[in-house]
Amino acid sequence: MLNFLLTHRFAQIHPTLVPNSDEVKIDNVTYLITDLGGDKISRKKWREYFDIIDGIIFMIDASDAQRIQDAKHEIDLLREVEKLQHIPIAILGNKEDKSNCLNENELREQLGLTRDKTYGNDHNEIAEDDN
C-alpha cells in the first residue's frame, strides 16, 4: 500500500520485514504512513505505535484462507485495545486477481464484520451496526 501511495503504480513487492515510513501528500494534506508488516515478529511491535496513530489500514491477502483466519484474530485483538477504540480501521483485501480470492461479502463474513459499518466498491453502505 505504501509503495502504491508513493508511486501511484501497482507493483509486485516483497513482504515487509522491517517497519518503514514515508510522507505521502494527498491533495493538501501530508500523511506519515508507516508500513509495519504482518508477520508474527512484526505484529509484536505494533503496540509501540498505538499512542501515535490516527488510523489503521489493515491489508489482507484475500486468497489465503489460513491467513484470513490469522487476520481475523489480529483484527479482533486490535478492536479490544482501549487506546484504539476511537481509531478508524480500514480493512482492505488484495490479490483479487487470483481465482481463489474471496469476494467482498465472503471476506466480510470470514472476518466477522457483518454487523460493522462497511462500504463496498461502489461506496454504497452495505451494513451498519445497530448499536
Tell me whether residue 94 is annotated as binding: yes
Tell me whether residue 16 is annotated as binding: yes
pTM: 0.72
Same domain for 89 and 119, yes or no, is yes
| Domain contains 57 | yes
| Domain contains 42 | no
pLDDT at 52 over 70: yes
Give 104: exposed, middle or buried? Use CB within 10 Å, 0-12, 13-18, 19+: middle
Tell me whether residue 96 is annotated as binding: yes
Same domain for 31 and 80, yes or no, is no
Tell me whether residue 112 is annotated as binding: no
Cβ–Cβ under 8 Å, residues 68 and 107: yes
| Domain contains 65 | yes
Tell me whether residue 27 is annotated as binding: no
| Domain contains 43 | no
Same domain for 121 and 64, yes or no, is yes
Same domain for 58 and 120, yes or no, is yes
Instruction: Indicate the number of domains in the chain.
Output: 2
Same domain for 71 and 120, yes or no, is yes
Per-residue pLDDT tens over the stretch 72-119: 998 999 988 998 888 888 888 888 778 888 888 888 888 888 766 655
Per-residue pLDDT tens over the stretch 7-19: 566 656 666 666 7
- Residue 113 sits in a domain whose CATH number is 3.40.50.300
Mean pLDDT across 61-69: 85
Residue 95 is part of which domain span?
50-127
Same domain for 109 and 73, yes or no, is yes
